[in-house]
Chain A
Amino acid sequence: MSDTAITTPGAATPTKQSGGLLSAIFSRLVILVPYIWLLVFFLIPFFIVFKISLSVPATAMPPYEPVINGIADFFAKLKDFSFDNYVWLTDDPLYINAYLRSLWIAAVSTFLTLLIAYPIAYGMARAPASLRPTLLMLVILPFWTSFLIRVYAWIGILKPEGLLNQVLMSLNIIDSPLIILNTNTAIFIGIVYSYLPFMVLPLYAALEKMDYTLIEAANDLGCPPFSAFWKITFPLSLPGVVAGCMLVFIPAVGEFVIPDLLGGTETLMIGKVLWNEFNANRDWPVSSAVAVILLLLLIVPIMMFQHYQAKAQEAGR
């Protein structure tokens, strides 16, 4: 009895150890892959952009200096770098206004998207189980058409002689066409429309797994349905609300296509400013500085999001 007890693990140990070593190396490699990805496609480009943001514009190719050739050259030219571009961003109210306006437009659109997406997601989650895949499909369906074409289509709908005004006027609801295109309203419509699925899907995921007997329990304890929604359903869907808001807010802040096509010339959003600095002014250093600041601004909500997710996972929900 004791003999077998000693020999059996003894025989098994060497193979197990080598297997353990291999799998340890393999699991390290697996973890390494996303880090390498981040390094190559995020961190290195970021430092290139950051470096350009510390340069000065020049009529050359590339249109800034100093240009660095090799590591030794980097240290030689270190003294040429300056934060002047960042100071410049704070000097000109155009940039600060563009940042604030972008944050405000993104915040309002995110709120509007949430307002529209919540009932949709709720309806989907409460629909018969056999119907849900179809509804989910319908939410994803717009992605089958190019984003750019869908935004162009809105020009056709919103312009003074467009579809919307024709319908409203033929129904005698309005006398003269509404001016929607080239206003902030058009930007809100565009952002809400484009990002709605990103809000609906996480909300649906959160609401779908909620146990409906919780609502019955709340009713049973004297809580009417509407009040039960705010006390039970909404708090339990908060992870979905936060995820959806982040997925809409973060890309909406830097949005370029929608304000450019629907917002007209006066709309000042940071994505458009960046585009102008880069293409029209050919000022790579300033546009790089704009991009770096935008990234720092967005890191705050992303960190909040991650913190919330970590907390939600810890709660096991």
Chain B
Amino acid sequence: MESLGSIRRSFAPWANPDAKPYIFFDSVTKRFGDFVAVNNLSLKIYEREFFALLGASGCGKSTLLRMLAGFEEPTSGRILLDGQDLRGIPPYKRPVNMMFQSYALFPHMTVEQNIGFGLKQDGMPKDQIAQRVGDMLKLVKLTQFAKRKPHQLSGGQRQRVALARSVAKRPKVLLLDEPLGALDKKLREETQFELMDLQQELGLTFVVVTHDQEEAMTMADRIAIMDKGEVMQVATPAEIYEAPETRFVANFVGNVNMFEGAVKSRKGDEVRIEGGSGAEIIVHNAGAAEPGKSVAFAIRPEKIRVSSKKPPAGDNAMQGEVYDIAYLGDMTIYHVKLDDGQVVKTATMNAMRISGDPLTWGDKAWISFSPDAGVVLTR
């Protein structure tokens, strides 16, 4: 696990300005009648990357995937794959394969025939097909189900057949449309790791479309957050979570507390933000915040401490009243209502078996966080 982690850490072609993108969406726009599904979008995806397109339904992420597969053509702009312009190339000639959300397994064919379908299309000799299909069945652990028809399989098995079928041709890029959407929670979590291992093993480029942020965070090297046909931010899961660039991204991924205010002063990278009620927040990583600008300070719940005692000087501190408590076992969620009426969500890990600070409903409480714990958002 540790070695895998270090491999992944060193994998960052996007940080290298000389790296050639494998898939390049160059100012792509797609309209359906009056509806703009994808709006002048540019995006670079690198070889062997596990890339996730994350967004709510109707944000254009599936359209992007379908344009890559060849089921839709861009209204304007171009899509390059490994330097080749894909315009006009029909889906059956593109070196990409797709795993469909509904799996789209051929109901009249056995598992074997489904997996071998693409290979047969390519005119691969029979013995080689048999061998490749055997390898694929082994890879997804379905060897004993080779002669079954799709309707004789469980949902999880069907998902694995669809996966095996889509990678059997060794495509340059594998497109996955909500690959885990139809599975139950436990199976979904297991399969996430299986997908990651598979991607490592085959060394393919994966582009996955999902609306599930946890799924994207777990699996992807980088995530593109999409909204209304545009990319809001492209970054690693950690960057997306810890350093969102806009209010939309901060709100979309995970839980967040937002403090709206104006920048009072800036000294180097340190800014002072004055909130509506006059409370002052000191932030060390100021970003693009300039004095006088209205900004938002965003901070994740787990980065806020809650205490009945006044916190030491140096940290930002605000006073309020415990409004709601949710005990989740591994952590406790406190909702603290500040004096100006804003409710702040906090999450405290329950590191000890019995909490040392028994706060309860209606108690006066302090919330505090370090000047490095949150980010300033100008957009």
Binding site for B on A (CB under 8 A): 211, 213-214, 216-224, 227, 232, 235-236, 315-317
In the complex, the answer to whether B122 meets A214 with C-beta atoms within 8 Å is no
Q: Which residues of the partner chain A approach B92 to less than 8 Å between Cβ atoms?
A: 219-224
The smallest C-beta distance from A242 to any residue of chain B, in angstroms, reads 14
In the complex, the answer to whether A220 meets B108 with C-beta atoms within 8 Å is no
In the complex, the answer to whether B107 meets A220 with C-beta atoms within 8 Å is no
Q: Which residue of A lies closest to B97 (CB)?
A: A220
In the complex, the answer to whether A221 meets B90 with C-beta atoms within 8 Å is no
The smallest C-beta distance from A211 to any residue of chain B, in angstroms, reads 7
Stretch in B98-106, B130-138, B338-346 with 4+ CB within 8 Å of A: B98-106
Assess whether B156 is interfacial by the CB under 8 Å rule. no
Assess whether B84 is interfacial by the CB under 8 Å rule. no
In the complex, the answer to whether A235 meets B117 with C-beta atoms within 8 Å is no
Assess whether B154 is interfacial by the CB under 8 Å rule. no
Assess whether B301 is interfacial by the CB under 8 Å rule. no
Assess whether B165 is interfacial by the CB under 8 Å rule. yes
Q: Which residues of the partner chain A approach B105 to less than 8 Å between Cβ atoms?
A: 217
The verdict on A214 contacting B104 (CB below 8 Å), with A221-B165, A222-B121, A222-B122 known, is: yes
Q: Which residues of the partner chain A approach B371 to less than 8 Å between Cβ atoms?
A: none
In the complex, the answer to whether A217 meets B100 with C-beta atoms within 8 Å is yes
Assess whether B91 is interfacial by the CB under 8 Å rule. yes
The smallest C-beta distance from B303 to any residue of chain A, in angstroms, reads 43
Q: Which residue in B90, B106, B107 is a CB contact (below 8 Å) of A219?
A: B90
Interchain CA distance A294-B42 in the complex, whole Å:
71
Q: Which residue in A213, A221, A236, A315 is a CB contact (below 8 Å) of B117?
A: A221
B interface residues, how many (CB within 8 angstroms): 26
Q: Would you list which residues of chain B between 144 and 166 have a CB under 8 Å from chain A?
A: 149, 151, 165-166
In the complex, the answer to whether B102 meets A213 with C-beta atoms within 8 Å is yes
Interchain CA distance A222-B124 in the complex, whole Å:
12
Q: Which residues of the partner chain B approach A213 to less than 8 Å between Cβ atoms?
A: 100, 102, 104
Q: Which residues of the partner chain A approach B98 to less than 8 Å between Cβ atoms?
A: 216-217, 220
List 15 additional A-B contacts (Cβ < 8 Å) besides A214-B106, A217-B104, A219-B92.
Answer: A213-B104, A214-B107, A217-B100, A217-B106, A219-B90, A219-B91, A220-B70, A220-B96, A220-B166, A222-B92, A223-B121, A224-B90, A232-B106, A235-B108, A317-B107
Interchain CA distance A227-B166 in the complex, whole Å:
19
Assess whether B21 is interfacial by the CB under 8 Å rule. no
Q: Which residues of the partner chain B approach A224 to less than 8 Å between Cβ atoms?
A: 90, 92
Looking at B69, B118, B169, which has the most chain A CB atoms within 10 Å of its CB? B118
Q: Which residue of A lies closest to B149 (CB)?
A: A315
In the complex, the answer to whether A221 meets B97 with C-beta atoms within 8 Å is yes
In the complex, the answer to whether A222 meets B118 with C-beta atoms within 8 Å is yes
Q: Which residues of the partner chain A approach B69 to less than 8 Å between Cβ atoms?
A: 220
Q: Which residue of A lies closest to B175 (CB)?
A: A220
| 24 chain-A/chain-B pairs, Cβ below 8 angstroms | A211-B102, A211-B104, A213-B100, A214-B106, A216-B71, A216-B98, A217-B104, A217-B106, A219-B70, A219-B71, A220-B91, A220-B92, A221-B92, A222-B92, A222-B118, A222-B169, A223-B92, A223-B117, A224-B90, A236-B107, A236-B108, A315-B107, A315-B149, A317-B151
Looking at B90, B93, B96, B104, which has the most chain A CB atoms within 10 Å of its CB? B104
Looking at A219, A221, A316, which has the most chain B CB atoms within 10 Å of its CB? A221
Interchain CA distance A223-B104 in the complex, whole Å:
14
Q: Which residues of the partner chain B approach A218 to less than 8 Å between Cβ atoms?
A: 106, 117
Interchain CA distance A220-B149 in the complex, whole Å:
21
Q: Which residues of the partner chain A approach B121 to less than 8 Å between Cβ atoms?
A: 221-223, 227
Interchain CA distance A221-B109 in the complex, whole Å:
15
Q: Which residues of the partner chain A approach B165 to less than 8 Å between Cβ atoms?
A: 221
Q: Which residues of the partner chain B approach A315 to less than 8 Å between Cβ atoms?
A: 107, 149, 151
Looking at A216, A222, A232, which has the most chain B CB atoms within 10 Å of its CB? A222
Q: Which residues of the partner chain B approach A223 to less than 8 Å between Cβ atoms?
A: 92, 117-118, 121
Q: Which residue of A lies closest to B91 (CB)?
A: A219
Q: Which residues of the partner chain B approach A217 to less than 8 Å between Cβ atoms?
A: 98, 100, 104-106
Q: Which residues of the partner chain B approach A232 to less than 8 Å between Cβ atoms?
A: 106
Interchain CA distance A214-B98 in the complex, whole Å:
12
Interchain CA distance A293-B284 in the complex, whole Å:
98
Q: Which residue of B lies closest to A317 (CB)?
A: B107
Q: Which residue of B lies closest to A227 (CB)?
A: B121
Interchain CA distance A222-B93 in the complex, whole Å:
6
Q: Which residues of the partner chain A approach B107 to less than 8 Å between Cβ atoms?
A: 214, 236, 315, 317
Interchain CA distance A111-B169 in the complex, whole Å:
38
Q: Which residues of the partner chain A approach B93 to less than 8 Å between Cβ atoms?
A: 222
Q: Which residues of the partner chain A approach B96 to less than 8 Å between Cβ atoms?
A: 220
The smallest C-beta distance from A229 to any residue of chain B, in angstroms, reads 13
Q: Which residue of A lies closest to B66 (CB)?
A: A216
Interchain CA distance A213-B98 in the complex, whole Å:
11
Interchain CA distance A202-B71 in the complex, whole Å:
29
When A and B form their complex, which 6 residue pairs have the shortest distance between CB atoms, in order from nearest?
A: A221-B118, A217-B104, A222-B121, A219-B91, A213-B104, A219-B92
Interchain CA distance A220-B304 in the complex, whole Å:
49
Q: Which residues of the partner chain A approach B100 to less than 8 Å between Cβ atoms?
A: 213, 216-217
